[in-house]
């Protein structure tokens, strides 16, 4: 996701950014802290301790709205890059042949967990936004994201390694 987010920023802003691949958020953060790179894109939970300590500075958030944990940080749209939505998201999926009763049970359990006040609080403290949806809504969301990011991949000429 960070690679594609960078490509979307390049396409939207018309700037040249060199993609430097890292094997995860920890090495990326180390490179940022050491001054080896000028900017990086990563999930908020990885960066949050450094943002709170003041060792890194957030320039923008790739969400539609500002995050409650970082209310002073503008969205990409507020920073002049409308249409740059780069939220990383997580969801629960199962093999296609999973029996319907099992799918229904898994969905109920996941929604209950996300609606639990303590679980929701812990997720929000890490920068996540719990968003329980119906299975149909999530399926539509995945299709939409696949089409959206597929277009970024096509326009940027991204090739698998």
Percent of the chain beyond pLDDT 70? 100
Residues 132-156 have a mean pLDDT of 96
> In the chain, what are the domains?
1-87 (3.40.190.10), 89-161 (no CATH)
Give me the pLDDT at residue 161, please.
Answer: 72
Residue labelled with tokens 């749209």: 77
pLDDT at 125: 87
Angle CA 143–156–27, to nearest 5: 90
| Residue 127 predicted with pLDDT over 90 | no
Does residue 57 have a pLDDT over 90?
A: yes
How far separated are the first and last CA of the chain, in Å rounded?
Answer: 15
pLDDT of residue 88: 85
pLDDT at res. 1: 86
* Average pLDDT over all residues of the chain: 94
Q: What's the average model confidence in pLDDT over 51-74?
A: 94
Q: What is the pLDDT of residues 30-54, one digit of tens each?
A: 999 999 999 999 988 899 999 999 9
Q: What is the mean pLDDT of the segment spanning 139-144?
A: 96
Q: Give the C-alpha distances (Å, rounded to integers) separating 58 from 49, 84, 91, 152.
A: 12, 16, 26, 24
> Cα 92 to chain center, whole Å?
16
Q: Rounded distance, CA 23 to CA 16, Å?
A: 22
Residue 145: pLDDT band with limits 50, 70, 90: very high
What pLDDT is stored for residue 36 in this prediction? Answer: 95
pLDDT of residue 69: 87
The angle formed by the CA atoms of residues 59, 155 and 4, to the nearest 5 degrees, is 40
pTM of the model: 0.85
């Amino acid at each position: 996701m960070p690679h594609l987010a960078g490509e979307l920023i390049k396409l939207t802003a018309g700037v040249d950014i060199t993609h430097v691949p890292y094997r995860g958020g920890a090495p990326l953060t180390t490179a940022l802290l050491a001054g080896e790179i000028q900017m990086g894109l990563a999930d908020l939970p990885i960066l949050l301790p450094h943002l709170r300590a003041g060792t890194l500075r957030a320039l923008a958030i790739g969400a539609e709205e500002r995050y409650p944990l970082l209310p002073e940080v503008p969205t990409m749209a507020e920073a002049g890059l409308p249409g740059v939505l780069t939220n990383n998201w997580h969801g629960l999926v199962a093999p296609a042949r999973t029996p319907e009763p099992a799918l229904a049970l898994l969905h109920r359990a996941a929604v209950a967990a996300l609606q639990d006040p303590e679980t929701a609080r812990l997720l929000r403290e890490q920068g996540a936004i719990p968003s329980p949806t119906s299975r149909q809504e999530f399926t539509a969301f995945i299709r939409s994201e696949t089409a959206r990011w597929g277009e970024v991949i096509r326009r940027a000429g991204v090739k698998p390694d």
